[in-house]
Amino acid sequence: MRPYILAETNWETLKDVNFDLAVLPWGATEAHNYHLPYATDNFEADALAAGSAKIAWEKGGKVIVLPTVPFGVNTGQSDIYLDINLNPSTQFAILCDIVEVLHRQGIYKLLIFNSHGGNNFKPLVRELGLKYRKMFISFSNWPQALDKSNYFQEEGDHADEMETSLMLYLKPELVLPKDKWGSGGSKKYKIKAFSEGWVWAERKWSQISEDTGVGNPINSTSEKGERFFKDVTQKMGNFLFELCGADINDLYQ
Ligand SMILES: [Zn+2]
Protein backbone atom coordinates (compact mmCIF):
# COMPACT_ATOMS: atom_id res chain seq x y z
CA MET A 1 0.00 0.00 0.00
CA ARG A 2 1.44 3.34 -1.06
CA PRO A 3 0.23 6.01 1.41
CA TYR A 4 0.38 8.76 -1.23
CA ILE A 5 -2.03 6.92 -3.59
CA LEU A 6 -5.65 7.53 -2.56
CA ALA A 7 -6.96 4.44 -4.35
CA GLU A 8 -4.65 2.23 -2.25
CA THR A 9 -4.76 3.86 1.16
CA ASN A 10 -7.52 3.56 3.78
CA TRP A 11 -9.54 5.42 6.39
CA GLU A 12 -7.38 4.02 9.21
CA THR A 13 -4.36 5.81 7.69
CA LEU A 14 -6.15 8.94 6.47
CA LYS A 15 -7.97 9.89 9.66
CA ASP A 16 -4.71 11.28 11.11
CA VAL A 17 -3.10 12.77 7.99
CA ASN A 18 -3.25 16.29 6.56
CA PHE A 19 -2.21 16.62 2.95
CA ASP A 20 -0.86 19.85 1.47
CA LEU A 21 -1.25 18.95 -2.18
CA ALA A 22 -3.65 16.85 -4.23
CA VAL A 23 -2.55 15.58 -7.65
CA LEU A 24 -5.29 14.76 -10.16
CA PRO A 25 -4.04 12.74 -13.14
CA TRP A 26 -6.22 13.22 -16.23
CA GLY A 27 -5.99 11.02 -19.30
CA ALA A 28 -8.18 9.93 -22.21
CA THR A 29 -9.57 6.81 -23.85
CA GLU A 30 -8.62 6.85 -27.51
CA ALA A 31 -6.93 4.96 -30.34
CA HIS A 32 -3.11 5.18 -30.27
CA ASN A 33 -1.86 4.10 -33.71
CA TYR A 34 -2.56 0.39 -34.37
CA HIS A 35 -0.32 -0.95 -31.65
CA LEU A 36 -0.86 0.88 -28.33
CA PRO A 37 -3.84 0.37 -25.99
CA TYR A 38 -6.76 2.82 -25.83
CA ALA A 39 -5.84 3.63 -22.21
CA THR A 40 -2.25 4.62 -23.08
CA ASP A 41 -2.68 8.15 -21.67
CA ASN A 42 -4.17 6.70 -18.47
CA PHE A 43 -1.39 4.14 -17.97
CA GLU A 44 1.16 6.92 -18.48
CA ALA A 45 -0.70 9.25 -16.10
CA ASP A 46 -1.00 6.54 -13.41
CA ALA A 47 2.65 5.57 -13.55
CA LEU A 48 4.18 9.02 -13.95
CA ALA A 49 2.02 10.64 -11.24
CA ALA A 50 2.74 7.78 -8.81
CA GLY A 51 6.47 7.78 -9.60
CA SER A 52 6.68 11.55 -9.12
CA ALA A 53 4.63 11.53 -5.90
CA LYS A 54 6.86 8.77 -4.50
CA ILE A 55 9.90 11.02 -4.87
CA ALA A 56 8.10 13.97 -3.23
CA TRP A 57 6.71 11.77 -0.43
CA GLU A 58 10.09 10.29 0.40
CA LYS A 59 11.49 13.81 0.78
CA GLY A 60 8.67 14.57 3.25
CA GLY A 61 6.08 16.17 0.96
CA LYS A 62 2.46 15.65 2.01
CA VAL A 63 1.04 14.76 -1.37
CA ILE A 64 -1.91 12.57 -2.33
CA VAL A 65 -2.58 11.28 -5.85
CA LEU A 66 -6.28 10.99 -6.73
CA PRO A 67 -7.51 8.31 -9.15
CA THR A 68 -6.88 9.10 -12.83
CA VAL A 69 -9.87 10.49 -14.73
CA PRO A 70 -9.96 8.06 -17.65
CA PHE A 71 -11.88 10.16 -20.23
CA GLY A 72 -10.66 13.35 -21.87
CA VAL A 73 -11.62 15.83 -24.55
CA ASN A 74 -11.72 14.02 -27.92
CA THR A 75 -13.96 16.39 -29.90
CA GLY A 76 -11.74 16.03 -32.98
CA GLN A 77 -11.98 12.22 -33.06
CA SER A 78 -15.76 11.81 -33.21
CA ASP A 79 -15.54 9.28 -36.07
CA ILE A 80 -12.79 7.14 -34.54
CA TYR A 81 -14.38 4.03 -33.11
CA LEU A 82 -14.85 4.14 -29.31
CA ASP A 83 -12.77 7.25 -28.69
CA ILE A 84 -14.78 8.40 -25.67
CA ASN A 85 -15.25 12.16 -25.76
CA LEU A 86 -15.78 14.25 -22.65
CA ASN A 87 -16.96 17.73 -23.66
CA PRO A 88 -14.97 20.62 -22.13
CA SER A 89 -18.09 21.69 -20.20
CA THR A 90 -18.38 18.20 -18.68
CA GLN A 91 -14.69 18.26 -17.81
CA PHE A 92 -15.25 21.58 -16.08
CA ALA A 93 -18.22 20.18 -14.11
CA ILE A 94 -16.14 17.21 -12.89
CA LEU A 95 -13.26 19.46 -11.93
CA CYS A 96 -15.62 21.85 -10.06
CA ASP A 97 -16.94 19.00 -7.90
CA ILE A 98 -13.43 17.74 -7.06
CA VAL A 99 -12.20 21.25 -6.21
CA GLU A 100 -15.30 21.77 -4.03
CA VAL A 101 -14.34 18.70 -1.95
CA LEU A 102 -10.70 19.73 -1.58
CA HIS A 103 -11.66 23.30 -0.66
CA ARG A 104 -14.20 22.16 1.93
CA GLN A 105 -11.66 19.81 3.51
CA GLY A 106 -8.79 22.27 3.58
CA ILE A 107 -6.49 20.92 0.86
CA TYR A 108 -5.79 24.18 -0.91
CA LYS A 109 -3.23 23.09 -3.49
CA LEU A 110 -4.22 21.09 -6.55
CA LEU A 111 -2.08 20.04 -9.48
CA ILE A 112 -3.93 18.64 -12.48
CA PHE A 113 -1.48 16.12 -13.96
CA ASN A 114 -2.51 16.25 -17.61
CA SER A 115 -1.64 13.34 -19.86
CA HIS A 116 -3.68 14.10 -23.00
CA GLY A 117 -3.15 16.80 -25.63
CA GLY A 118 -6.88 17.47 -26.19
CA ASN A 119 -7.42 18.50 -22.55
CA ASN A 120 -7.08 22.25 -22.14
CA PHE A 121 -7.18 23.26 -18.52
CA LYS A 122 -6.17 26.92 -18.78
CA PRO A 123 -9.66 28.48 -19.09
CA LEU A 124 -10.99 26.05 -16.46
CA VAL A 125 -8.25 26.91 -13.96
CA ARG A 126 -8.81 30.63 -14.56
CA GLU A 127 -12.53 30.35 -13.78
CA LEU A 128 -12.02 28.12 -10.72
CA GLY A 129 -9.32 30.46 -9.37
CA LEU A 130 -11.84 33.26 -9.31
CA LYS A 131 -14.45 31.16 -7.55
CA TYR A 132 -12.13 29.53 -4.97
CA ARG A 133 -9.86 32.34 -3.84
CA LYS A 134 -8.09 30.22 -1.22
CA MET A 135 -7.13 27.49 -3.70
CA PHE A 136 -3.94 27.35 -5.73
CA ILE A 137 -4.75 25.31 -8.84
CA SER A 138 -2.16 24.52 -11.47
CA PHE A 139 -1.75 21.98 -14.24
CA SER A 140 1.25 20.28 -15.82
CA ASN A 141 1.94 18.72 -19.20
CA TRP A 142 4.63 16.10 -18.56
CA PRO A 143 5.63 15.60 -22.23
CA GLN A 144 6.90 19.19 -22.10
CA ALA A 145 8.87 18.76 -18.87
CA LEU A 146 12.04 17.76 -20.74
CA ASP A 147 13.52 18.30 -24.19
CA LYS A 148 12.27 15.18 -26.00
CA SER A 149 14.98 15.46 -28.65
CA ASN A 150 17.54 14.42 -26.00
CA TYR A 151 15.72 11.09 -25.69
CA PHE A 152 14.03 10.31 -29.01
CA GLN A 153 14.97 10.55 -32.69
CA GLU A 154 11.53 11.01 -34.25
CA GLU A 155 9.25 13.95 -33.48
CA GLY A 156 5.57 13.39 -32.85
CA ASP A 157 2.74 14.01 -30.46
CA HIS A 158 0.51 10.96 -30.50
CA ALA A 159 1.50 7.29 -30.19
CA ASP A 160 4.95 8.44 -31.29
CA GLU A 161 8.43 7.22 -30.35
CA MET A 162 8.08 8.69 -26.86
CA GLU A 163 4.72 7.09 -26.09
CA THR A 164 5.64 3.76 -27.64
CA SER A 165 8.92 3.68 -25.69
CA LEU A 166 7.11 4.53 -22.45
CA MET A 167 4.55 1.79 -23.02
CA LEU A 168 7.26 -0.74 -23.91
CA TYR A 169 8.75 0.07 -20.52
CA LEU A 170 5.50 0.30 -18.48
CA LYS A 171 3.12 -2.21 -20.13
CA PRO A 172 5.05 -4.29 -22.72
CA GLU A 173 2.36 -6.98 -22.63
CA LEU A 174 -0.13 -4.47 -24.11
CA VAL A 175 2.02 -3.33 -27.06
CA LEU A 176 1.50 -5.19 -30.34
CA PRO A 177 4.58 -6.61 -32.14
CA LYS A 178 6.63 -4.23 -34.24
CA ASP A 179 5.30 -5.46 -37.60
CA LYS A 180 1.89 -4.06 -36.60
CA TRP A 181 3.16 -0.53 -35.90
CA GLY A 182 1.87 2.14 -38.29
CA SER A 183 4.26 4.82 -39.55
CA GLY A 184 2.34 7.62 -37.77
CA GLY A 185 2.49 9.81 -40.88
CA SER A 186 0.32 12.93 -40.61
CA LYS A 187 -0.91 15.70 -42.90
CA LYS A 188 -0.47 19.41 -42.22
CA TYR A 189 -2.80 22.27 -43.11
CA LYS A 190 -2.42 23.72 -46.63
CA ILE A 191 -2.81 27.22 -45.15
CA LYS A 192 0.55 28.18 -43.68
CA ALA A 193 -0.80 30.27 -40.76
CA PHE A 194 -2.06 27.11 -39.05
CA SER A 195 1.33 25.36 -39.15
CA GLU A 196 3.00 28.53 -37.89
CA GLY A 197 0.93 28.13 -34.76
CA TRP A 198 -0.64 31.61 -34.49
CA VAL A 199 -3.99 30.49 -35.86
CA TRP A 200 -5.64 27.45 -34.40
CA ALA A 201 -8.47 25.17 -35.48
CA GLU A 202 -9.14 21.67 -34.32
CA ARG A 203 -7.73 19.01 -36.65
CA LYS A 204 -10.11 16.35 -37.97
CA TRP A 205 -8.00 13.48 -36.77
CA SER A 206 -9.22 10.83 -39.22
CA GLN A 207 -8.26 13.13 -42.10
CA ILE A 208 -4.73 13.86 -40.93
CA SER A 209 -3.62 10.35 -39.94
CA GLU A 210 -4.49 6.97 -41.37
CA ASP A 211 -3.32 4.86 -38.41
CA THR A 212 -4.37 7.53 -35.81
CA GLY A 213 -0.72 8.07 -34.82
CA VAL A 214 1.25 11.30 -35.25
CA GLY A 215 4.97 10.55 -35.18
CA ASN A 216 6.89 7.47 -36.32
CA PRO A 217 7.38 4.94 -33.50
CA ILE A 218 9.93 2.86 -35.43
CA ASN A 219 12.95 3.59 -33.18
CA SER A 220 11.09 3.03 -29.89
CA THR A 221 12.69 0.88 -27.19
CA SER A 222 11.91 0.04 -23.59
CA GLU A 223 15.34 1.42 -22.55
CA LYS A 224 14.49 4.84 -23.99
CA GLY A 225 11.14 4.71 -22.19
CA GLU A 226 12.81 3.87 -18.89
CA ARG A 227 15.33 6.69 -19.16
CA PHE A 228 12.62 9.22 -20.01
CA PHE A 229 10.33 7.92 -17.25
CA LYS A 230 13.04 8.23 -14.61
CA ASP A 231 14.04 11.74 -15.64
CA VAL A 232 10.43 13.00 -15.89
CA THR A 233 9.46 11.58 -12.49
CA GLN A 234 12.61 13.03 -10.92
CA LYS A 235 11.84 16.48 -12.27
CA MET A 236 8.12 16.28 -11.45
CA GLY A 237 8.87 14.78 -8.02
CA ASN A 238 11.16 17.68 -7.12
CA PHE A 239 8.47 20.08 -8.30
CA LEU A 240 5.73 18.37 -6.25
CA PHE A 241 7.90 18.58 -3.15
CA GLU A 242 8.56 22.26 -3.79
CA LEU A 243 4.83 22.91 -4.31
CA CYS A 244 3.94 21.05 -1.09
CA GLY A 245 6.09 23.42 0.93
CA ALA A 246 5.28 26.61 -0.97
CA ASP A 247 3.44 29.46 0.74
CA ILE A 248 0.63 30.22 -1.70
CA ASN A 249 0.40 33.77 -0.36
CA ASP A 250 4.06 34.41 -1.10
CA LEU A 251 4.81 32.98 -4.53
CA TYR A 252 6.62 35.83 -6.27
CA GLN A 253 10.06 37.35 -5.99
ZN1 LIG B 1 -1.35 9.55 -25.78
Instruction: Check residue 179 and give its pLDDT.
Output: 97
Instruction: Check residue 158 and give its pLDDT.
Output: 95
Instruction: Check residue 94 and give its pLDDT.
Output: 98
Please give the distance, rounded to the nearest whole angstrom, from the Cα atom of residue 18 to the centre of ligand 1.
33
Please give the distance, rounded to the nearest whole angstrom, from the Cα atom of residue 1 to the centre of ligand 1.
28
Beta bridge partners of 63: 21
Please give the distance, rounded to the nearest whole angstrom, from the Cα atom of residue 246 to the centre of ligand 1.
31
Please give the distance, rounded to the nearest whole angstrom, from the Cα atom of residue 156 to the centre of ligand 1.
11
How far is residue 133 from each of residues 110, 118, 224, measured CA to CA in Å? 13, 27, 42
Instruction: Check residue 184 and give its pLDDT.
Output: 95
In 41-83, which ranges are E strands? 63-65
pTM for this structure?
Answer: 0.96
Please give the distance, rounded to the nearest whole angstrom, from the Cα atom of residue 79 to the centre of ligand 1.
18
Beta bridge partners of 32: 36
Instruction: Check residue 34 and give its pLDDT.
Output: 97
Q: What does 227-238 look like in DSSP terms, one character per residue? A: HHHHHHHHHHHH
> Phi then psi for 170, rounded to 5 degrees?
-85, -40
Please give the distance, rounded to the nearest whole angstrom, from the Cα atom of residue 106 to the centre of ligand 1.
33
Instruction: Check residue 55 and give its pLDDT.
Output: 98
Instruction: Check residue 59 and give its pLDDT.
Output: 98
pLDDT, tens digit only, all 253 positions of the chain: 999 999 999 999 999 899 999 999 999 999 999 999 999 999 999 999 999 999 999 999 999 999 999 999 999 999 999 999 999 999 999 999 999 999 999 999 999 999 999 999 999 999 999 999 999 999 999 999 999 999 999 999 999 999 999 999 999 999 999 999 999 999 999 999 999 999 999 999 999 999 999 999 999 999 999 999 999 999 999 999 999 999 999 999 9
Please give the distance, rounded to the nearest whole angstrom, from the Cα atom of residue 39 to the centre of ligand 1.
8
Instruction: Check residue 4 and give its pLDDT.
Output: 97
Please give the distance, rounded to the nearest whole angstrom, from the Cα atom of residue 133 to the centre of ligand 1.
33
**Contacts of 158 by beta carbon, 8 Å cutoff, 6+ apart:** 32, 33, 117, 184, 209, 212, 213, 214, 215
| 8, 88 contact by CB (below 8 A) | no
> Phi then psi for 169, rounded to 5 degrees?
-80, -45
Please give the distance, rounded to the nearest whole angstrom, from the Cα atom of residue 67 to the centre of ligand 1.
18
DSSP state of 68: P
Pairing between β-strand 156-158 and β-strand 214-215 as defined by DSSP bridges: antiparallel
Instruction: Check residue 73 and give its pLDDT.
Output: 98
> Phi then psi for 136, rounded to 5 degrees?
-115, 105
